[in-house]
Amino acid sequence: MLRVLYAGSPAASSRALELILKDSYMSSSIPEEHYKIVGVLTNPPSMQGRHRDLIPTEVEHYAHIWNEARDDGIVILTPEHLKEEARAQIASLHPDVFICFAYGHILGPKFFSLFKYGGINLHPSILPKYRGATPVNQAILNRDSETGICIQKMALGIDEGDILSMQKWTLTGTETAESLLKEVALHGAISITTILRYIASHHELPEAHPQRGEASYCSIIKKEDGKIDWKNSAEKIDAQIRAYTPWPGCFTTCNGQTLRILKARDAEKIAAQDTAVTKNTAAVPGTVLSYNKQRGILIQTGDGVLIATELQWQAKKAMDFKSFMNGARNFIGSVLE
């Protein structure tokens, strides 16, 4: 039996863990392909909310659910740093291979020496494009026509490892970071289970290939990246909103109040189906032009019109555009900044 340590923290990683655990349970019926998650490595609980409660990561939360439902004994490790004590805890599990998806820590040679077959990383881009922490967001921001996943051997350099498998698919231009990460988790988990069954039966990693092409990198997202510049095109703002859903979210100001634009569409994308939709005007960028009861709230940008469909005033609940307009006097004609 192949012994696996899984590492990750956010919701997408939790979803991948769920799928891998279910496959590991089924793999027990084929002894030569049997693998088992013996431990989960994730970030420590963080303080959240008004009362600063300690909340575990999504990965830790699901691992507890699995243990209780299956009466399993997966060891859950939440060290702040992967120093000697943490490495000793990992070594005691006698793991053969390390699987990583969005763990967010830099890992060194002492850590990788704990695993017979080294580490395998699920990276949500077509490497070497978008090495780094935010490839899903970057693909949406750049309005790429396709994206994909790479399962790679882990190396000491960030996302520099050789490729074990790659999968690509077409983007529709409607994805959010949240929805695209769900796809990544599904496709990635399937690829990882295939590789784990291969290692269990062949006692080695599948053949890996060096990355081909020029490398590019994506940067850490900051809260202020969500600020909307209405001088940008409707297409660019549409992509910004989708790329930053759910975090950090996109926002603007209206008469000194912060207003979050949670969902929107570039009017150009739907004008072919609805000729009543305004595609552009000579108004100042940021001007709230009109309210279309079927489509949403039309806002002029530097090039084109953005149709906002879900909005939220600061410290208020999110509302669809119809509910928002019921309580938004004098909103039409205002200029967002």
Query: Taking a C-beta distance cutoff of 8 angstroms, is the pair 336, 228 a contact?
Result: yes
**Is residue 327 very low, low, confident or very high in pLDDT (cuts 50, 70, 90)?**
confident
Write the DSSP assignment of 170-215 as a string of letters: E--S---HHHHHHHHHHHHHHHHHHHHHHHHHHSSPPP-B---S--
- At 14 the pLDDT is 97
- The 10 Å Cβ neighbour count of residue 149 is 28
Give the strand pairing for 35-41 and 75-77: parallel
Kindly report the CA angle at 112 between 108 and 116, in degrees rounded to 5?
A: 170
- Give Rg (Cα) of the chain: 23
What are 3-31's pLDDT values in tens digits?
999 999 999 999 999 999 999 999 999 99
* pLDDT at residue 156 tops 80: yes
Side chain identity at residue 61, one-letter code: H
pLDDT at 191 over 90: yes
- Span 244-261, average pLDDT: 96
pLDDT score, position 269: 85
| 52 exposure class (CB count in 10 Å sphere: 0-12, 13-18, 19+) | exposed
* pLDDT at residue 48, rounded to an integer: 77
Tell me, what's the pLDDT at 271? Answer: 66
How far does Cα 194 stand from its chain's mean position? 22
Dihedral sign (CA 158, 161, 167, 170): positive
Using CA atoms, how far residue 139 sits from 59, 126, 161, 204, 213, in Å, is 25, 10, 20, 33, 17
- State the average pLDDT over residues 311-336: 93
Quick: pLDDT tens for 30-77.
999 999 999 999 999 987 766 678 899 999 999 999 999 999 999 999
Q: What is the pLDDT of residue 281?
A: 87
Between 20 and 255, residue with greater pLDDT: 20
pLDDT of amino acid 46: 84
Question: Tell me: the pLDDT tens digits for 203-217?
Answer: 999 999 999 999 999
For residues 229, 234, 240 and 242, what is the CA-based torsion angle, rounded to 10 degrees?
A: 140
Q: Is 312 helix (H, G, I), strand (E, B) or coil?
A: strand
Question: Residue 233: what pLDDT?
Answer: 97
Lowest-pLDDT choice from 46-55, 106-115, 285-294: 46-55
Q: How far apart are CA 125 and CA 224, in angstroms?
A: 24
User: Taking the mean position of all CA atoms in its chain, how far away is CA 203?
Assistant: 32
Q: Provide the phi-psi class of 315: left if phi over 0, else alpha when psi is between -120 and 50, else beta.
A: left
Cα(307)–Cα(321) distance, rounded to whole angstroms? Answer: 10
Residue 270 has pLDDT above 80, yes or no: no
The secondary structure of the chain in percent helix, strand, coil, rounded to multiples of 5, reads: 30, 30, 40
Task: Check if the beta carbon of residue 10 is closer than 8 Å to that of residue 57.
Answer: yes
Q: What's the mean pLDDT in 180-205?
A: 97
pLDDT range class, residue 272, cuts 50, 70, 90: low
SS3 119: strand
* Percent of the chain predicted with pLDDT > 70: 97
End-to-end CA distance of the chain: 59
Q: How far apart are CA 138 and CA 163, in angstroms?
A: 21
Backbone φ and ψ for 104, nearest 5 degrees, come out as 85, 20
